[in-house]
Amino acid sequence: MSRWAVTCPIQTRMAPPPDTIPTPPPVAAPNVAPAPELVVELSGIGHRFGDNQALADLDLTVPTARITVLLGPNGAGKTTAIRVITGALVPMTGRVTTFGLDPDAQGHLVRPRCGVVSAKPALYDRLSGRDNLLYSAELYGLGRDIDDRIDEVAGRFGIADALGDAVGGYSTGMKTRLALARSVLHDPELLLFDEPTSGLDPESSHAVLDLIREMTNEGCTVVMCTHLLAEAEGLADHVVMMEGGTDMISGSPKELTEQFWPHPIVRLQAEDPRLLDRVAGWPGVAAYRRDPAGARLEIDDIGRLPDMIASLVADGVRLTRVEPHEPTLEDLYFTIRRQRGGSTEDPDHHALAPVSPGWAPRHQPVPPVLDIDPSTSASAPDTVWVEDAASSTTASSTTASSTTGSSTTGTPTTASSTAAGQDRT
């Protein structure tokens, strides 16, 4: 035995019997809904047509069994993105997966699982509606013995009675319905619709959108391009706003509106709109804006509204309108476009100004809170805008100039707001 074995013995420690080891209590799984599986993933997609940059660093995801709406002006790159998804166009840069496959290398596995309706569907005018569908069935390898399936999809889209007629005699709405029927003939998993209601009357548009929602409820995944805000409102589960070939913002409509307007919004009107300006400094008012369309305020709790209304009435303010307002995709669209430098030259649109959006400028000037004497005969200013009005410490009192050009000015003070210096990025 060596000297080291004697002077440096190794001591071992016996482990306790297995039945004496305490078992840790089970950890409860967090109550969080699982993220939806993604059917399409586009990452860093870029493509040019000559000198035209059609797509620029586009990131796009499409959750399964949802309606994803690509929203943006003409030329935003929506149609090009659809072509990339199916592999009809191979982008110059970036990575594309559809059903977890590369649509360029494995397009023969991707495209049979897709149904496509372009903005101007290519149909054979000299053939009947039934022959158009039979021809498509042959291309998809369904054979010719599918009359029952053709009758089923034609009935679903309301063209069963016109299947024997030449497509050249179809109206625009009927041609769109035939194209939709053709797109689902082979029972695809992913439907790609480019402006599916273009040229349709309101009744036909409504019917087409109802059919799209119905197909999603049955498990289909839909990607739809549109520049019509009213069309996307209430239909989209997932919105991707595009401009200049890239994505500006994406998410569910509820998530996006809460990001820009986290507080309840209320619209107010009164016989004398100047008297509404006093609420700008009241507790709980996060933002206040008055323009010719009326006053709009954001409050931290909608439960404050009855007391606010009672206080205004007690002060002699004669209200003509009190309306809680849910921000729409139109509000969101114009706000993002304005803050990204896009064109919003719509004189009839008065977009809500967000309190603290991710796209807002870092430092935004805060105009003074106006405390106007109701007895004055001066006209009200067109616009009053106060952000984070509850934190304003002082106010300014002014009187607008009369029609003769004279003006009377009260004692001015400085309005301050902690929101003006907040980091908005």
Token pair belonging to 193: 């619709």
Q: What is the pLDDT of residues 16-57, one digit of tens each?
A: 454 444 555 554 444 544 545 899 999 999 999 999 999 999
Helices and strands: H and E segment counts in the chain:
11, 14
**Over residues 66-81, mean pLDDT:** 92
38 to 97, 221, 310, 367: CA distances (angstroms): 10, 10, 50, 46
Of all residues in the chain, the percent with pLDDT exceeding 70 is 72
Of all residues in the chain, the percent with pLDDT exceeding 90 is 44
CA-closest candidate to residue 303, choices 283, 317, 288, 320: 283
pLDDT at 58 over 90: yes
Say how far apart CA 292 and CA 59 lie, in whole Å: 39
Given this model, what pLDDT does residue 392 score? 39
Say how far apart CA 413 and CA 408 lie, in whole Å: 15
CA 175 to chain centre: 29
Q: What is the pLDDT of residues 129-185, one digit of tens each?
A: 999 999 999 998 888 789 999 999 999 888 999 999 999 999 988 999 999 999 999
Radius of gyration of the chain (CA): 31
For residue 130, the tally of other CB atoms under 10 A from its CB is 20
**Over residues 94-104, mean pLDDT:** 95
Contacts of 365 (CB under 8 A, 6+ apart): 420
Hey, which residues does 268 pair with through a beta bridge? 295, 322
Token pair belonging to 56: 């620029």
For residue 61, the tally of other CB atoms under 10 A from its CB is 16
CA-closest candidate to residue 116, choices 178, 68, 183, 172: 183
Contact between residue 295 and residue 289 where contact means Cβ atoms under 8 Å apart: yes
For residue 206, the tally of other CB atoms under 10 A from its CB is 13
Q: What is the pLDDT of residues 366-425, one digit of tens each?
A: 333 333 344 443 444 444 555 444 343 333 333 333 334 433 333 333 333 333 333 333
Given this model, what pLDDT does residue 188 score? 93
Contact between residue 133 and residue 208 where contact means Cβ atoms under 8 Å apart: no
3-state secondary structure of 123: coil
Q: At which residue do the structure tokens 């990575």 appear?
A: 95
pLDDT at 214 over 80: yes
Answer with the residue of higher pLDDT: 326 or 340: 326
Answer with the residue of higher pLDDT: 208 or 68: 68
**Over residues 54-75, mean pLDDT:** 93
Of the pLDDT bands very low, low, confident and very high (cuts 50, 70, 90), residue 257 is confident
Given this model, what pLDDT does residue 132 score? 96
**Over residues 100-109, mean pLDDT:** 94
Hey, which residues does 13 pair with through a beta bridge? none
Of the pLDDT bands very low, low, confident and very high (cuts 50, 70, 90), residue 78 is very high
Whole-structure pTM value: 0.68
Given this model, what pLDDT does residue 393 score? 36
3-state secondary structure of 108: helix
**Over residues 69-78, mean pLDDT:** 91
pLDDT at 281 over 50: yes
Q: Pick the range with the lowest mean pLDDT from 63-67, 108-112, 233-237, 308-312.
A: 233-237
